[in-house]
Structure 1
Amino acid sequence: MFTYRRTPELPTREQALKGRPTPMFEVPSRHTVLGNPLTGPYPEHLEVADFALGCFWGAERKFWQVPGVWTTLVGYQGGFTENPTYEEVCSGMTGHTEVVRVVFDPAQVSYDTLLKLFWESHDPTQGFRQGNDVGTQYRSAVYTHSPAHQAAAEASRAAYQQVLTGSGYGQITTAILPADATERPFWPAEAYHQQYLDKNPAGYCGIGGTGVSCPIGVAPARGE
């Protein structure tokens, strides 16, 4: 059994739920919109990016609509519990945040383009919440898969902070960390969460930005 935390607070590794060595559920084989496999291994020419920007239902739809995105899937990342369930993540006792994994073709869409969409699709200054969704699982984060992505994400955060400050917003709380397979593995979410707003077009979407444009340059994709 687990209890729900009334005040959002990240647990320590010792406090976190221990999880389990094997998943409790199976992940669907293919994306309901894009038609490609949800899980890897992916074709070698593709790259991976992980973004946390609030409820992953609406966040995933934002990214699957981008030309050049090959597949998306939602899951949990940044915490301690192995193979967590949605209920465990919502308890606040796993340390995970809701994440969208974006698999994209860098010859068609740049990582900077995805970063720009990430920043403009939520308010990264809200800490353990996003709008009416409150909890550590809704915190903002970028988990990077290469040193180049890490540098680009950090540069974009600095650039966006300048314009947000000028618009009266506070400090960005977004964590930018390597998506280390040991320290910060990605755990896919349950089948009903995958492409939720494709299956439920009128379903809840809590994603909304600040209205402040991110000034990072949208670099051309490789080959253009």
Structure 2
Amino acid sequence: MMFGRTPQLPTPEQALKGRSTPEFQVPSRHTVLGNPLAGPYPEGFEVADFAMGCFWGAERKFWETPGVWTTLVGYQGGYTENPAYEEVCAGVTGHTEAVRVVFDPTAVSYEQLLKVFWESHNPTQGFRQGNDVGTQYRSAIYTHSPAQLAAVEASREAYQQVLTGARHGTITTEVLPAEGRAFWPAEPYHQQYLDKNPAGYCGIGGTGVSCPIGVAKAEG
């Protein structure tokens, strides 16, 4: 946690340079779903990237969602190549803690995943999620297609309306294209952390306000 000052994102010039190669290998299989963590993924499946606070709890929200084929936690939205967890937490890489979600669009829609995203954290808190403070805890969505971007913008507008009605603040979620913003897998011990450590820390929590996007498709 940080007290007495507001976290600041580094500029590309200020960020650590990083490494040309990773210092570890990604585990081969998801400990819960049993599927490979790294690609290539099955034909016709899609990828979604979300950041919503500590990635331990965020990842669990998505692996529990029917239609999700695999999940992988990592670092995204920053500048440092192959960053280490300690560097990300120090705020010197520009990354946020993210979850890569690989899903079968015939079993779960991107809109339904957005509903999980919005309702599972507080997207109005800036560089913070609950008691977790730092640039690595910012809310973010990195889109992989124009269709994903359109769905994000529609859901954000709809959710802002209900949040405002419930006296919450303005959504601060960073929305950017995934292209050009590499997803760097986190260290093996972070993958499916709450499956390996069921009593482990989970700092994310929603606003208690339901997101109207995705309801029709979920019931259809």
TM-score in terms of structure 1 length: 0.94
1:217 aligns with 2:214: yes
> 1:105-135: per-residue Cα shift (whole Å, max 9, x none)?
0000011100000000000000000000000
- Identity within the alignment, %: 81
Match of 1:119 in 2: 118
Note the C-alpha offset of 1:26: 1.1
Structure 2 SS opposite 1:74: strand
Distance in 2 (alpha carbons) for counterparts of 1:186 and 1:49: 11
> What is the one-letter code of the residue matched to 1:89?
V
Aligned mates of 2:78, 2:11 — CA distance in 1: 9
- How do 1:1-224 residues align onto structure 2 when only pairs under 5 Å count? 7-180=6-179, 183-220=180-217
Write the distance in 1 (CA, Å) between the matches of 2:134 and 2:59.
19
Cα offset, 1:217, TM superposition: 3.3
Q: CA deviation at 1:170?
A: 1.0
Give the ranges of 4+ consecutive aligned residues of structure 1 lying more than 6 Å apart after TM superposition: none
Between the aligned partners of 2:191 and 2:184, the Cα distance in structure 1 is 13
Deviations 1:87-106 (A, max 9, x none): 00001010000000000000
Find the aligned partners of 1:169 and 1:124 in 2 and give their Cα distance: 10
Structure 2 stretches lacking a partner, 5+ long: none
Distance in 2 between residues matched to 1:45 and 1:122, nearest whole Å:
29
For residues 160-184 of structure 1, the C-alpha deviation after alignment (integer angstroms, 9 at most, x for no partner) is 001101111111000111101xx21
Measured after TM superposition, the shift of residue 219 of structure 1 is 4.8
TM-score, normalisation: structure 2: 0.95
Contact 1:79 1:94 in 2 (8 A): yes
Letter in 1 for 2:142: Y
The answer for unaligned runs of 5 or more in structure 1 is none
Q: Following the alignment from structure 1 to structure 2, what is the Cα–Cα distance between the partners of residues 125 and 145?
A: 23
TM superposition shift of 1:41: 1.1
The two structures, once aligned, show a CA RMSD in angstroms of: 1.3
